[in-house]
Structure 1
Amino acid sequence: MNGPEIHVSFAPELRLFIAAERRRPRAAVVTDGVSTLGHVIESLGVPLTEVGALSVDGRPVPASHVPAAGEEVEVRAVARPQEVPGAPLRFLLDVHLGTLARRLRLLGVDAAYESDDIGDPALAALSASQQRVLLSRDRGLLRRRELWAGAYIYSDRPEEQLRDVLSRFTPPLAPWTRCTACNGPLQDADKEAVREQLEHGTRRTYDVFAQCITCGRVYWRGAHHRRLEAIVEKAVREFGAAAA
């Protein structure tokens, strides 16, 4: 770029996206004089999915504002909790977030997940066609124009990822109502009706079952239930459950 110089201040939460030499509180940026402020911000590495209020010389402006020489720009992080247009709130996770997808489903949150790498254009198009918030750690993916809505996952630890999504979007929680394998709804299942899908030890030990309406997978309170219950209890304690 070779045009007007502006000064940009980023919220501390956004500085991780920016090259080290620009991470100081107030950075000089040379623009081309025609690009929008949103384009300038993204060119510096920050996905607009993570950007909240913008101001120029103390007055609010939209991302479509074209900055002029000498302007002082302030870029804030997205407000939390974040409101997403449309209903119901649904998510789409990329191939690298399988554990997070299963934990969201465990809590009854609608979380579609692509276990195959279908490519960035297809993921963004799926987000748009199904009006799902795309969750990803891929900054380039979150900058795609066809994306309906998105959010960067800041941590690589599943526990922190789950808390980040729940605190940012506050989805209603309905634990134990969704299949962790395919995202379909669960319903109570009669033991005799699912007997053929059970190992002998399971048939002998357990009497209460649920089954996915979509894929037919059967669930019961097996050896891993205590660990899963701890995840559910912690999330419900902090973020609450949906009203029955």
Structure 2
Amino acid sequence: MNRPEIHLAFAPELRLFVASNRRAGTTPLVTDGSSTLGHVVESLGVPLTEVGRLLVDGREVPVSHVPGDGESVEVCAVERPQQVPGAPLRFLLDVHLGTLARRLRLLGVDAAYESEDIGDPALAARSAAERRVLLSRDRGLLHRRENWAGAYVYSHRPDEQLRDVLGRFAPELAPWTRCTACNGLLKDAEKGTVQERLEGGTRRTYDVFAECTACERVYWHGAHHARLEAIVDEAVREFGGAAASRSGSATHG
């Protein structure tokens, strides 16, 4: 019995995941006649987290569709901004995305981060348990069925990574409200309550402080404030949100 042949075309954004001979135009593919379209797409290297609509001869079908002989399949990229239903928008980043995690936190975005490599199964399990969107550049990790939701981070440059995530998910921005070290929420702190944790120069120079409600780390307008403020201002200008009245810094005691 002849196996069915389909004609497959990927959106330009998805072509980096597939072999070079499938990156341009529509290419034929012989299937086994029983695998779903979702399985076929994944078997070619494309994580389903990056796939939007699947069109068969122009009509939209689910990932469970079993393609038949002669069908023309168009694999579209996920639409932006992407809606994540069923939970507050929260993220989980793997061990390789520490700078991105800190920048998201700087903007007030809930971004959990594993500073050690705990393994793909544990990351996927945490994504599911806490209903967090798993961000990673590891394609294999994004293929795991346990993930609650996921997204591939397309660049290796932190500035571009941040723009990618903000543009894709449009999270609400609340700059200077999260601890960049642990993701906890910040609160205003009286100088008298934190001064014992400050070095002498800091005690003499600064009067406005914030404190993490989780790890008790202290924040003030330190040496890196101008650079961090530039990151915040650019993100708010391009993606919306309002800077909080407390203007913190990643400098701490």
| TM-score normalized by the length of structure 1 | 0.98
Aligned to 2:247: none
C-alpha distance in structure 2 between counterparts of 1:243 and 1:203, whole Å: 26
Instruction: In structure 2, give the amino acid aligned to 1:221.
Output: H
Task: Please give the alpha-carbon distance, in whole angstroms, between the structure 1 residues aligned to 2:226 and 2:76.
Answer: 41
Q: How much is the aligned-residue C-alpha RMSD, in angstroms?
A: 1.1
Q: Following the alignment from structure 2 to structure 1, what is the Cα–Cα distance between the partners of residues 243 and 190?
A: 26
Q: How does 1:222-241 map to 2 (within 5 A)?
A: 222-241=222-241
CA distance in 2, matches of 1:186, 1:97: 22
2:44 maps to a residue whose letter is: L
- The 8 Å contact of residues 176 and 243 in structure 2, kept in 1 or not, is answered as no
Match of 2:166 in 1: 166
In structure 2, relative to structure 1, the CA distance for the partners of 1:157 and 1:243 (3 Å cut) is closer
Provide structure 2 residue ranges, at least 5 long, that are not aligned to the other structure: 245-253
Identity of aligned residues (%): 78
1:77 matched residue in structure 2: 77
Tell me the secondary structure at the aligned position of residue 60 of structure 1: strand
Give the Cα–Cα distance (whole angstroms) in 2 for the partners of residues 116 and 95 of structure 1: 6
| Map 1:147-162 → 2, pairs under 5 A | 147-162=147-162
Please give the secondary structure, in 2, of the residue aligned with 1:112: strand
1:22 Cα deviation after fit: 1.5
SS, match of residue 52 in structure 2: strand
| Contact 2:134–2:151 (Cα < 8 Å) also in 1 | yes
CA-CA distance at 1:89 after TM superposition = 0.4
* Matched residue SS, 1:227: helix
Q: Does residue 7 of the first structure (1) align with residue 11 of the second (2)? A: no
Q: Which contiguous aligned blocks of 4+ residues in structure 1 show a shift greater than 6 angstroms?
A: none
- Corresponding residue for residue 31 of structure 1: 31
1:5-32: CA deviations, max 9, x gaps?
1110100000000011221211111111
Mapped pair 1:221 → 2:246: no
Displacement of 1:87: 2.7
How far has the Cα of 1:3 moved from its partner? 2.4
Deviations 1:107-146 (A, max 9, x none): 0000000001011111011000000000000000001011
Count, aligned residues: 243
Instruction: Check the 8 A contact 2:236/2:243 in 1, yes or no.
Output: no
Structure 1 segments unaligned to the other structure (5+ residues): none
One-letter identity of the residue aligned with 1:228: L
Amino acid in structure 2 at the alignment position of 1:21: N
Query: Is the contact between residue 172 and residue 242 of structure 1 (CA under 8 Å) also seen in structure 2?
Result: no
Does structure 1 residue 182 correspond to structure 2 residue 209?
Answer: no
2:27, 2:242 → 1: CA distance? 44
- Residue in 2 that maps onto 1:103: 103
2-side partners of 1:123 and 1:3: how far apart?
38
Q: Give distance in 1, aligned partners of 2:78 and 2:38.
A: 14
Secondary structure in 2 aligned to 1:41?
helix
Amino acid at match of 1:83: Q
User: What does residue 44 of structure 1 align with?
Assistant: 44
For 1:87 and 1:176, locate their aligned partners in 2 and report how far apart those are by CA, in whole Å: 23
Give distance in 1, aligned partners of 2:199 and 2:215: 18
Q: Map 1:193-212 to 2 at 5 A.
A: 193-212=193-212
